[in-house]
Amino acid sequence: MFRNDLLAGKRILITGGGTGIGRSIGRRYLSLGAELVICGRREPVLAEAAESLQHETGGKVAFKACDIREAAQVEDLLGWVWQNGPLHGLVNNAAGNFIAQSETLSPRAVDAVLGIVLHGSAYMTLGCGKRWLAEGRHASVLSIITTYAWTGSAYVVPSAMAKAGVLALTRSLAVEWGGRGIRLNAIAPGPFPTEGAWERLVPKPELAAAFEAKNPLHRAGHHDELANLASFLMADETGYINGEVVTIDGGEWLQGAGQFNFIGGMMSPADWQKLRPKK
Ligand code: HXC
């Protein structure tokens, strides 16, 4: 759906780019002409991803292991990225999450999720931003959040807290840095099945089926659909979009929100007929 050179000349860093949604976005960016840098905690996973993404697309992928919870590791990574050339985009994709009854969460469990999602995204964004501002470079940050960043959600409380924080980071810096050429946007995906997320969040087949059943489109999202949106938001051609969060969830969160949404399944054709004005 895009020109093949939509992202040509851009070098883009994707956190958690070796697996899941980050890898799918990276694949599309490469096919649109971008050069990629991916980071994650596990070097062998990154090496395999870089190799196969290059093979699939013919693009260029660099990789380096980094635990984004550690500010010093983020600084090392960014120093290395900048040594090897300019950067034009950052995708804050890396996340940590699991379902749990909140009263069972230990402080370390809370810290694990907040560390990856909130602190990691902040270290990355601030680290890239200060370098871009110093060199006067126009650049774009895209953060992957969720719809429960604004609704909250039971059973994933640290994730909801952290994603809400990343949304606040996005909107705040969009204003503070927009005039200096850096725009920040977010994507709020609904269910896009990945191995990492599904083993922690959807541990029973019945839950996966329920995710599909409650969605107005009766299906999960396709990675290509998300990658298309991520490309659209990263492109210079949409450069006036700043501080925005775009939802891509098939209408899932609105389905849960509208007061009368639930009644469709409880009203028979005869029930509806009875309610129509008598002629
Ligand atoms: C309760 C848990 C737990 C669980 C871990 N902990 N899993 N507590 N229930 N299921 C606790 C541990 O007991 C420990 O606390 C603390 O969390 C840290 O756990 P570790 O395993 O030592 O940490 P670590 O190896 O760093 O793993 C981090 C992680 C893990 C976040 C816990 O899940 C992870 O690596 N996730 C990365 C991939 C991922 O989550 N992808 C999904 C993202 S999806 P104690 O006190 O015992 O030491 C997403 C949006 C989804 O974010 C939207 C869906 C629709």
Q: Is the pLDDT score of 188 beyond 90?
A: yes
Secondary element (H or E) of residue 189:
strand 182-189
Give residue 156's Cα distance to chain centre: 16
In a 13 Å sphere around the CA of 135, the CA atoms on its Cβ side amount to 13
User: How many residues are recorded in the chain?
Assistant: 279
Please report which confidence band the pLDDT of residue 214 belongs to, taking 50, 70 and 90 as the band edges.
Answer: very high
Which residues lie across from 91 on neighbouring strands? 14, 142
Please report which confidence band the pLDDT of residue 196 belongs to, taking 50, 70 and 90 as the band edges.
Answer: confident
Domain boundaries, the chain: 11-275
Residue 109 makes CB contacts below 8 A (sequence gap 6+) with: 100, 158
Query: Is 15 close to ligand 1, i.e. is its CB under 6 Å away?
Result: no
| Mean of all residue pLDDT scores within the chain | 97
**Mean pLDDT throughout 71-79?**
98
Query: Is 98 close to ligand 1, i.e. is its CB under 6 Å away?
Result: yes
Architecture in CATH for domain 11-275: 3-Layer(aba) Sandwich (3.40)
Please report which confidence band the pLDDT of residue 265 belongs to, taking 50, 70 and 90 as the band edges.
Answer: confident
- Better-predicted residue by pLDDT, 199 or 188: 188
pLDDT value for 268: 96
Looking at residue 210, its amino acid is A
For a mutational test of ligand 1's pocket, the pick from 194, 200, 249, 255, i.e. the residue with the most ligand atoms closer than 8 A to its C-beta, is 200
Yes or no: say if 220 and 251 are a contact pair by the CB < 8 Å rule: no
pLDDT value for 151: 97
Share of the chain above pLDDT 90, in %: 96
Give residue 215's Cα distance to chain centre: 19
Residue 33 makes CB contacts below 8 A (sequence gap 6+) with: 4, 5, 6, 7, 8, 9, 10, 59
Structure-token match 């969720």, residue found: 146
- Better-predicted residue by pLDDT, 203 or 169: 169
Q: For residue 41, how far is its CA from the centre of ligand 1 (angstroms)? A: 14
pTM of the model: 0.97
Q: At what angle do helices 43-57 and 20-31 cross, to 10 degrees?
A: 30
Task: Give the position, in ligand 1's atom list, of the atom nearest the Cα of 20.
Answer: 41
